[in-house]
Structure 1
Amino acid sequence: MTHLISADELAHEIEDVVVLDVRWALTTANTPAGRADYDAGHVPGAFFVDLDAELAAPPGEGGRHPLPDPTVVQALLRRAGITEHTRVVVYDGKESYAAARAWWVLRWVGVPDVRVLDGGYAAWLAAGLPVSTDEPADRHGDVVVRPGALPTLDADGAAALARDGLLLDARAPERYAGETEPIDPVAGHVPGAVNSPTTAWVTDDGTFRRDLAEHWAAVTEGVDLGDGRVGVYCGSGVTAAHEMLALAELGIDTVLYPGSWSEWIRDPARPIALGHQPG
């Protein structure tokens, strides 16, 4: 089973699916720019999703992007006309980092059939497919969300998995090593976590690399996989979902630490490792 869909495949199926546009970026004024991108043009019939407001709760004790309020997600899904049996396709601008967060959140609340447009809106444009500036009307779906359909890790669980299984850190190597930290107030990584930058799982055109199995073998070469369980975290639980999507394509089950590094460092008693080794 693949969790991805190509632009041509989506064009063929577009009348039979609900499409969600999850383009997400920050302007220099630190305000979401995804809506402006959507208004300028999107996949016909796509509904805009605000990642910060609809796929995450406000920043706080749970980190920069805590799990969203299920009632907020339900309102989003109903606005898009989603029912118990709806097939959903999500996309973002290119690399699918934000789209993967939507893919994970929707499955977490019990929506079973969610796919990601590989290469995002850039792939749709590259295929020469039509775009729209019209926003679809509210479709009044009746889906009932059931949060908890996917497992998650808390900080203690992440620490245990780093010790007994495999905990992946999806951030850039320099952030993992603690050499720089442009976003969070403390640098470093969870002791025992293995660095696997999510940017390494995609190609220059934003699509997932075709040699996923070979890349996974390189990531885990010489690594003690412990009991075989795999968890993933990043800075705030967004790009970690992208790595989970890549591993899902390989049939590898993973579990997300939603709070990620931005939650881990809120407790000064939690240990911090530095350098390019798990520690």
Structure 2
Amino acid sequence: MPRQARKESGSGIYHVMLRGINRQDIFEDVEDYMRMLRCMQLMQEQYDDQGNRLPPLCTFYAYCLMSNHVHLLLRVNQEDIGSTIKHLTVMYAMYYNQKYSRSGHVFQDRFKSEPVNDLAYFVTLLRYIHQNPTKAGMVGKVDDYHWSSWKEYTGEIPAALGLCATNAILKRMSLDELKELVEVPLDDDVQCLDLDEGIKISVGDREIRQYLLDSYGITDSVKVQEMDKEKRNEIIVCCLERGAGMRQLSRLTGVTYGVINRLRGRM
């Protein structure tokens, strides 16, 4: 079956998610995170054969580098989104393969993208991208995560050293207003690009928790991982059948992704 064509953005702005092939980590240490940021910087520092500065390939508005995936909010300036992202992934893959004495793909072959055509969704994505580390339980507050663009918005990283066009949003709302939005977790039913195979999770966290309560009397979803194997597996399969995502279930119940993936494969 041929691949579905990417949806084009009328604004040229996209939310992009890159992830490691086979969900492997793509950042092993600080040097790796720094190199990805340098690759992003080089996307904005283009020169011709005579050394003359060229327009940047893209404009970044937000990013978050997680251990095995990357979220980007950007506008393409010259090429289509596929060609633009290829520049970035090729640069980083060359570095990664050389450093770790490996060959082949570093990123999953087909990255995910979605068009961003209005300010409301743009702001939702600013919140979603910067909240990724807190949602994953890596840090307690958005401010605590080092490898995202949030510190560019707060001024902890000076504009001259930053990668993002923060003024695109700060000229439309104050920093205090933006902080208030970003620091408040998005509702469970807000759906953006996710790590699951489907583009969107079909049911929200709130619905899954309610289902566990109504059907099994479970008040704390994490208790699922403590149940006997047969009962645990029954509950996971029932949640999958209701449209829950695998990563979503792993996060809510504490059951490992590998177990959930195996159960899904038997359905």
Question: Please, what TM-score do these two structures have when normalized by structure 2?
Answer: 0.27
Greater helix content: 2
Question: Please, what TM-score do these two structures have when normalized by structure 1?
Answer: 0.26
Tell which structure's C-alpha radius of gyration is larger.
2
Larger RCO: 1 or 2 (CA < 8 Å, sep 6+): 1
